[in-house]
Homo-oligomer: A and B are copies of this chain.
Amino acid sequence: MTLSIAHLGPPGTYAEQAAVFYANWLKQTTGVEATLCPYPSIAQSLQAIAEGQTKLAVVPVENSIEGSVTMTMDTLWLLDSLRIQLALVLPITHTLISCATSLESIKTVYSHPQALAQCQGWLGRFLPTVQLIPSNSTTEALQLLKPDITSAAIASMRAAELYNLPILATAINDHPENCTRFWVVSQAQTENSHHTSSTNTTHTSLAFSLPANLPGALVKPLQIFAQLGINLSRIESRPTKRSLGEYLFFIDLEADANTLKMQSALAELSSYTEILKIFGSYNILPIAT
């Protein structure tokens, strides 16, 4: 049996790195072989599962410096049929890739906007006058990179090795504690036999809208969990896209949705919400690099 896993491509992105780790881990723990399927966007990676093209997708959720990946949250809310199976935490180390032999000759740096933002302090210090050119992914930046001494790209060390390109500087991210959390997502009806038992996970993610546009009404839903001693590890708001000032709320809780306490909290929560979507319960697996 072979499992197909969608991820943001082309090969060499951090999403692919997380997917490769997951595929190896799956093989070691269950013997199941997986093939990776690169897609041009995060939305298309998730749609691939919804449309049955792949069994799973590995998508970025949140970076410790740049915050939430809004495309993942918005797509998960739109596509009803998906379920989170596992979270992965990948340490991020950005590398400056260039045919130049010193920084002086570099005039242009290509990378994904999030990677450029995560290195802005380093760039301001060592390359203050270069032009920064955004790309759709860190790997695409390598495709834009010219084989001369005036251009450079920011991507992972794995990408430099994969495409056989020279590394000019490593660990150029401003915050050494930089890491990105990914979710492994499947269709809702898929049995989660690979790695989650039914009441033994540490986290649950959900999102809801509130009936009237009364943001003060957010206190009630949060109180339910606080009173039951269920810790909230993250809260994010996203626009409903109906009008400015109307929001959806995305919440991560430190509990399994199948426990009695959470069942009662979720039942109470649904009495305050307009639409409530539970994305699943899962464990977190750190990726050693």
Which A positions have Cβ atoms within 8 angstroms of B?
Answer: 62-67, 70-71, 89, 113, 117, 132, 134-136, 175, 177, 179, 181, 214-216, 218-219, 222-223, 225-226, 230-239, 241-245, 247
Complex Cα spacing A242 to B223, Å: 27
A–B Cβ pairs within 8 angstroms, 20 of them:
A62-B239, A63-B239, A64-B244, A65-B239, A66-B70, A67-B238, A67-B239, A71-B117, A113-B113, A132-B136, A177-B242, A181-B244, A215-B235, A216-B230, A216-B231, A218-B222, A219-B222, A219-B226, A222-B222, A235-B247
What chain B residues lie within 8 Å of A134 (beta carbons)? 113, 134-136
Name the one of B67, B136, B214, B234 contacting A70, with C-beta atoms under 8 angstroms: B67
Assuming the A-B contacts A134-B134, A218-B222, A218-B232, are A241 and B65 also in contact, with contact meaning beta carbons closer than 8 angstroms in the complex? yes
Q: For the complex, what is the distance from the CA of A216 to the CA of B265, rounded to whole Å?
A: 14
Q: Chain B contacts of A238 at CB under 8 A?
A: 67
What is the bound-complex CA distance between A134 and B137, given in angstroms? 10
Determine whether the beta carbon of B244 is less than 8 Å from that of A231. no
Complex interface: chain B residues within 8 A of A71 (CB)? 117
How many protomers of this protein does the assembly include?
Answer: 2
Among candidates B66, B70, B237, residue contacting A239 with C-beta atoms closer than 8 Å: B66
Give min CB distance, A183 to chain B, whole Å. Answer: 14
The answer to whether B235 touches A218, judged by C-beta atoms less than 8 angstroms apart, is yes
Q: Are B215 and A234 in contact (CB under 8 A)?
A: yes
How far in angstroms is the closest Cβ of chain B from A75? 11
Q: Please, which residue of chain B has its CB at the minimum distance from the CB of A91?
A: B244
Residue numbers in B under 8 Å from A66 (CB-CB)? 70, 239
Complex Cα distance A179/B241, Å?
10
C-alpha spacing A225/B243, complex, angstroms: 24
The answer on a CB contact under 8 Å between A232 and B216 is yes
Contacts of A215 in B (CB 8 A): 231-235
A243 interface neighbour in B132, B177, B219, B222, Cβ under 8 Å? B177
Residues in B with CB closer than 8 Å to A244 are 62, 64, 89, 177, 179, 181
Residues of chain B contacted by A179 (CB below 8 angstroms): 244
Closest 7 CB pairs of A and B: A64-B244, A219-B226, A134-B134, A215-B232, A219-B222, A216-B231, A67-B239
What is the distance, in angstroms, from A203's C-beta to the closest C-beta of chain B? 11
Q: How far is the CA of A135 from the CA of B247 in the complex (A)?
A: 28
Q: A64 to B237, Cβ gap below 8 A?
A: no
Contacts of A243 in B (CB 8 A): 64, 177
Tell me the complex Cα distance, A226–B67, Å. Answer: 27
Contact indicator A225/B216 (Cβ below 8 Å): yes
